[in-house]
């Protein structure tokens, strides 16, 4: 595939614009940008970018398929028999021994209680976490191509809107539901450790666990406004006790759909439904207003934060619904900028240093990028996902100044 414009030593520098010139099979058969704009896409790359989970509607039921992004082939599939998929993320679960093929052994129903407690050097495997419309949470193992864990509880019967996994303890997950309840689950014991409702009783559309020790339990919850809560852990408290609020952050006019912390654990980024603005917040900002904003060409689809290094600052990479990737360096001094002089009266605007257009002007029917991930340890490499005919993911790799199809 032909390279994009020449790059310098910085990550995706100014002027980087390009598109795939290779022929992707059947790309002219459908106006893919129209599909991507009008259909909600439930998908996610695994943290290392090697797998891609994609949910589609099949015969009135949701079907999960997991693809190997190197070969492009499906490596696992699951049809959701009860309910629809309403939230998706990735986690890990302890590896279970493969079931015996002997007909004399009866297959046991898989639940969270069948996952053993960690003993010694327990091995873990990646799992897709699916929040369902009927209130349960499934853990699907691509390795075994089956559901290895199901979280169920008689109090959790409404649609899961968001799922957040603990950073240091993967057996802890938080869910928010349409009944406005937020629940903290113990995956291994299939139990609810804490359950509460915000004072306004509005369902939370996004959750994000603050990086660090999960026992501190700092958690972002959001709908139109964002709250930072602490003491979300259960030690010494009732299961129904409410966490202590640390701050309320306002700025979005529609429901928040994504919350991401950066490596400092003092700043976070938010996007909202139908909004082309990304807001940057600092928990040390006493005004609880955004310290900066980023404007895209169209509605934000997804964002990723790459860590800083000795030679470059952290970079926000944003994908819009038009299929355009924007690369925005994030200064470390945003809080100082937002609290000095005239800047205190307005939100500081950050401008993308470079961009990448995934749709060619001469080939407008090429499918745009619908999702992406930054490869850990190599922030100059992105794995991209496109969608053919509305159902078939294909993958590209963006490495500095070149784009290759898979």
Report residue 333 as tokens. Answer: 């001094």
The residue assigned the tokens 């992105």 is 382
The residue assigned the tokens 């060409």 is 297
- Residue by residue, DSSP assigns 200-251 as T-PPPSEEEEPSS-GGG--EEEESSSEEEEE--S-TTS-TTPPPEEEEEE--
For residue 26, what pLDDT is reported?
32
Cβ–Cβ under 8 Å, residues 76 and 142: yes
- In which element (H, E) is residue 327 found? strand 324-330
Strands of 191-196's sheet, edge to edge? Answer: 160-165, 172-177, 182-186, 191-196
How many helices and strands in the chain, by DSSP H and E? 2, 29
For residue 161, what pLDDT is reported?
97
- Residue by residue, DSSP assigns 244-270 as EEEEEE---SS-EEEEEE-TTSSEEEE
Report residue 364 as tokens. Answer: 């407008």
362 secondary structure, DSSP code = S
Report residue 180 as tokens. Answer: 């406005």
CATH for the stretch 30-95+110-350+370-380: 2.130.10.10
For residue 19, what pLDDT is reported?
35
- Euclidean distance between CA atoms 371 and 88, whole angstroms: 14
Low-confidence ranges of the chain (pLDDT < 70): 1-39, 96-121, 213-216, 234-237, 335-345, 360, 362-364, 400-406
For residue 199, what pLDDT is reported?
87
Over the stretch 138-169, which tens digit does the pLDDT of each residue have?
999 999 999 999 999 999 999 999 999 988 88
- In which element (H, E) is residue 130 found? strand 124-132
Over the stretch 330-339, which tens digit does the pLDDT of each residue have?
988 786 655 5
- Euclidean distance between CA atoms 389 and 405, whole angstroms: 17
Q: Residue 181 burial by CB count (10 A; 0-12/13-18/19+): exposed, middle or buried?
A: buried
Cβ–Cβ under 8 Å, residues 125 and 95: yes
């Amino acid at each position: 595939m032909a390279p994009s414009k020449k790059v310098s030593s910085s990550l995706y520098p100014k002027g980087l614009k390009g598109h795939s010139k290779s022929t992707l099979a059947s790309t002219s058969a459908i106006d893919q940008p129209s599909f991507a704009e009008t259909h909600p896409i439930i998908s996610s790359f695994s943290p290392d970018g090697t797998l891609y989970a994609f949910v589609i509607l099949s015969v009135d039921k949701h079907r999960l398929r997991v693809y190997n992004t190197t070969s492009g082939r499906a490596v696992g599939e699951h049809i959701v028999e009860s309910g629809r998929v309403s939230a998706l993320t990735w986690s890990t679960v302890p590896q279970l021994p493969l079931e015996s093929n002997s007909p004399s052994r009866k297959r046991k129903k898989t639940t969270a209680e069948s996952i053993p407690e960690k003993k010694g050097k327990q091995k873990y495997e990646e799992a897709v976490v699916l929040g369902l419309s009927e209130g349960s949470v499934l853990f699907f193992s691509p390795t075994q191509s089956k559901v290895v864990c199901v979280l169920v509880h008689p109090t959790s019967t409404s649609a899961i809107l968001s799922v957040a996994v603990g950073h240091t303890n993967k057996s802890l997950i938080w869910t928010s539901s349409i009944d406005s309840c937020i629940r903290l689950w113990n995956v291994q014991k299939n139990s609810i450790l804490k359950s509460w409702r915000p004072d306004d009783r509005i369902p939370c559309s996004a959750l994000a666990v603050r990086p660090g020790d999960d026992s501190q339990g700092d958690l972002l919850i959001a709908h139109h406004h964002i709250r930072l809560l602490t003491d979300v852990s259960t030690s010494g408290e009732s299961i129904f006790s409410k966490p202590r609020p640390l701050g309320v952050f306002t700025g979005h006019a529609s429901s928040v759909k994504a919350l991401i912390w950066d490596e400092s654990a003092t700043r976070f980024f938010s996007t909202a439904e139908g909004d082309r603005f990304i807001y940057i917040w600092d928990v040390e900002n006493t005004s609880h207003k955004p310290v900066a904003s980023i404007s895209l060409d169209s509605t934000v689809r997804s964002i990723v934060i790459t860590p800083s290094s000795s030679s470059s600052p952290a970079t926000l990479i944003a994908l819009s619904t038009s299929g355009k990737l924007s690369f925005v360096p994030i200064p470390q001094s945003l809080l100082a900028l937002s609290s000095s002089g005239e800047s205190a009266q307005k939100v500081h605007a950050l401008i993308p240093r470079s961009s990448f257009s995934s749709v060619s002007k001469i080939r407008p029917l090429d499918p745009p990028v619908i999702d992406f991930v930054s490869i850990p340890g190599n922030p100059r490499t992105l794995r991209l996902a496109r969608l053919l005919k509305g159902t078939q993911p294909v993958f590209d790799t963006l490495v500095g100044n070149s784009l290759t199809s898979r």
